[in-house]
């Protein structure tokens, strides 16, 4: 896949309908997590939310949820879906790296799915700092990471060892495990992590 580097490229992809990352539903591993765990509800933000399926999922489980994406068309689709289903999820068109000024230490949870893998690997350290800035003390990152080893991107793959390297200074790694219920084309290429801010 050719690298997408300009903000308008993401909007163009939605306009053209070339969004292979879009599952058309919430990610099964995130739904399994909410079904099997007893996460206390709180404020959650879904970074790079796309058409909003994961944000709608968390809202359905009682979380006060905001989805954020750079592409106006994605946010319009997510807002329309929320309105059609009576969801409490809200959606904002923003650059994720601008969020700390608006939401400093605001969220109990950050939900990550296809955002970390979409940014340039050179931005990963800045992403970790972004997550730290948005979370309340002891807040948690719930991340569904692409751990493929294909060259190029997006999606840019990463190893579990590298994930730990980026996050372990600021976060307690509660879990980081291979996913067993990925969609077929992502089988063996995803890890689900839960990281608590120290």
Averaged pLDDT, 139-164: 93
User: Model confidence at 22, in pLDDT bands (50, 70, 90)?
Assistant: confident
Averaged pLDDT, 73-100: 97
How far apart are the C-alpha atoms of 26 and 104, rounded to whole Å?
27
User: Model confidence at 4, in pLDDT bands (50, 70, 90)?
Assistant: very low
Q: Which fold would CATH assign to domain 28-197?
A: Rossmann fold (3.40.50)
Nearest to 193 by CA among 167, 157, 154: 167
How far apart are the C-alpha atoms of 69 and 50, rounded to whole Å?
6
How far apart are the C-alpha atoms of 72 and 8, rounded to whole Å?
10
Alpha carbon dihedral 186, 20, 92, 195, in 10-degree steps, equals: 20
Averaged pLDDT, 114-123: 94
Quick check: pTM over 0.85? yes
pLDDT of residue 120: 92
């Amino acid at each position: 896949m050719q690298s997408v580097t300009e903000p308008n490229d993401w909007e163009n992809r939605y306009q053209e309908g070339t969004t292979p990352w879009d599952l058309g539903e919430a990610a099964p591993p995130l739904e399994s997590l909410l079904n099997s765990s007893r996460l206390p509800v709180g404020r959650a933000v879904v970074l790079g939310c796309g058409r909003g399926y994961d944000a709608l999922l968390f809202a359905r489980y009682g979380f006060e949820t905001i989805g954020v994406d750079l592409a106006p068309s994605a946010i319009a689709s997510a807002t329309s879906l929320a309105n059609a289903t009576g969801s409490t999820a809200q959606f904002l068109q923003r650059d994720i790296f601008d969020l700390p000024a608006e939401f400093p230490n605001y969220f109990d949870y950050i939900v990550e799915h296809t955002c970390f893998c979409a940014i340039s690997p050179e931005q990963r350290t800045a992403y970790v700092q972004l997550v730290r800035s948005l979370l309340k003390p002891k807040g948690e990152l719930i991340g569904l990471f692409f751990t493929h080893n294909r060259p190029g991107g997006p999606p840019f793959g990463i190893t579990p060892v590298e994930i730990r390297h980026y996050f372990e200074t600021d976060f307690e790694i509660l879990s980081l495990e291979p996913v067993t219920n990925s969609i077929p084309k992502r089988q063996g290429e995803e890890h689900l992590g839960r990281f608590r801010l120290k």
